[in-house]
């Protein structure tokens, strides 16, 4: 009985972490949707840069002022290179994903993104020589096969967009494996707050030029929107703070489970979002079908709604 109690506590702790990650993820999603719907704020790279800025500031406050975790220093050049690589890979996944959305439909983009667990298992083996159970690899085969079939039958297929999408997907997987190493490796272990503290500023420096090039005038647009409605600025701050919780729990889930588990959870979260939006689209379609005056307009609006919400997630 005594040996079962710690195991039960460990499972409850892991369940609590996963629940916190999931609900904070949903919170950021809803705020992103509100920013898009009410303000037309569709600048995901700039928004991610705001998230990373909040991660750096809140991590420093949590460590230096609130003493929630001890301050850890970078021990070696190798560790610094891995942290910088983690930041660059994360930024590459964000930028590559947004470039691919310019050439591919959102639905196909997300279908390709569903192969992230496959790439995670592959990189985990190549980088750490960690093998999963054979049944784990077997379950990933239908996902990859489905994407191959979808690629051949996708009428809007674009080779460059597909390459960028695959690259972004592989980058997300490599990021998960690398953050797992930095969180659990005995020689280079960092706690989640310290890893965010060191990673976030580098990500901001990489994302800033990308935002200025790919989302021109985003700074002036953001300032103008905030001047028009002060609540807009407040929402950006709350959104960034919640994104900090998402990233923090993301690291904690990786540490206490595995990189592959995190990506499978992301996949289930994606399926939930798609189901949620599919229900909304079905309800919208039914209303439009019953309204002959607006016949023929719902298809265009559906694409804009679905694409807009998913682009900013």
| Three-class SS of the chain | CCCHHHHHHHHHHHHHHHHHHHHHHHHHHHHHHHHHHHHCCCCHHHHHHHHHHHHHHHHHHHHHHCCCCCCCCCCCHHHHHHHHHHHHHHHHHHHHHHHHCCCCCHHHHHHHHCCHHHHHHHHHHHHHCCCCCHHHHHHHHHHHHHHHHHHHHCCCCCHHHHHHHHHHHHHHHHHHHHHHHHHHCCCCCCCHHHHHHHHHHHHHHHHHHHHHHHCCCHHHHHHHHHHHCHHHHHHHHHHHHHHHHHHHHHHHHHHHCCHHHHHHHHHHHHHHHHHHHHHHHHHHHHHHHCCHHHCCCHHHHHHHHHHHHHHHC
Average confidence (pLDDT) over 25-42: 84
Condensed to tens digits (0 to 9), the pLDDT of residues 254-304 reads 887 777 776 766 666 665 555 554 544 444 444 444 454 444 433 333 333
For position 297, what pLDDT does the model report? 37
In angstroms, the CA 309 to CA 313 distance is 7
Q: Specify the higher pLDDT residue, 197 or 38.
A: 197
For position 208, what pLDDT does the model report? 94
| Other beta carbons less than 10 A from residue 170's beta carbon | 21
Q: What percent of the chain has pLDDT over 70?
A: 77
Q: Specify the higher pLDDT residue, 80 or 300.
A: 80
pLDDT at 5 over 70: no
For position 112, what pLDDT does the model report? 84
Q: Specify the higher pLDDT residue, 81 or 136.
A: 81
Give this prediction's pTM. Answer: 0.76
Q: Specify the higher pLDDT residue, 198 or 156.
A: 198
Q: Report CA 55 to chain centroid distance, whole Å.
A: 14
pLDDT at 35 over 80: yes
pLDDT at 182 over 80: yes
For position 310, what pLDDT does the model report? 34
pLDDT at 50 over 90: yes
pLDDT at 87 over 80: yes
Condensed to tens digits (0 to 9), the pLDDT of residues 212-243 reads 999 999 999 999 988 998 899 999 999 999 99
For position 86, what pLDDT does the model report? 94
In angstroms, the CA 86 to CA 171 distance is 9
Average confidence (pLDDT) over 64-76: 91
In angstroms, the CA 221 to CA 219 distance is 5
pLDDT mean across residues, the chain: 79
Confidence of residue 311 (pLDDT cuts 50, 70, 90): very low
Q: Specify the higher pLDDT residue, 166 or 33.
A: 166
For position 151, what pLDDT does the model report? 60
């Amino acid at each position: 009985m005594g040996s079962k109690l710690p195991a039960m506590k460990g499972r409850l702790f892991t369940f609590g972490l996963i629940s916190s990650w999931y609900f904070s993820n949903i919170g950021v999603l809803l705020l992103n949707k509100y920013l898009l719907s009410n303000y037309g704020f569709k600048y995901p790279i700039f928004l991610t840069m705001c998230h990373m800025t909040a991660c750096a500031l809140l991590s420093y406050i949590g460590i230096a002022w609130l003493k929630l975790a001890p301050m850890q220093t970078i021990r070696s050049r190798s560790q610094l290179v891995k942290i910088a690589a983690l930041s660059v890979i994360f930024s590459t996944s964000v930028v590559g994903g947004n470039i691919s959305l310019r050439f591919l439909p959102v639905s196909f983009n997300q279908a390709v993104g569903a192969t992230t667990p496959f790439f995670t298992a592959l990189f985990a083996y190549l980088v750490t020589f960690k093998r999963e159970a054979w049944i784990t690899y077997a379950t990933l085969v239908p996902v990859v096969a489905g994407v191959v079939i979808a690629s051949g039958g996708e009428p809007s297929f674009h080779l460059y967009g597909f390459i960028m999408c695959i690259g972004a997907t592989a980058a997300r997987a490599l990021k998960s494996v690398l953050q797992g190493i930095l969180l659990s490796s005995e020689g280079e272990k960092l706690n989640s707050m310290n890893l965010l503290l060191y990673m976030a500023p580098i990500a901001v420096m990489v994302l800033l030029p990308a935002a200025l090039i790919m989302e021109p005038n985003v700074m002036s647009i953001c300032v103008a929107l905030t001047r028009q409605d002060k609540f807009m600025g407040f929402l950006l701050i709350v959104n960034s703070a919640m994104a900090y919780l998402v990233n923090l729990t993301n690291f904690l889930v990786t540490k206490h489970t595995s990189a592959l588990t995190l990506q499978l959870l992301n996949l289930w979260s994606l399926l939930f979002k798609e189901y949620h939006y599919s229900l909304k689209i079905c309800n919208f379609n039914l209303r439009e079908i019953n309204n002959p005056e607006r016949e023929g307009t719902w298809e265009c609006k559906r694409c804009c709604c679905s694409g807009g919400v998913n682009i900013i997630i």
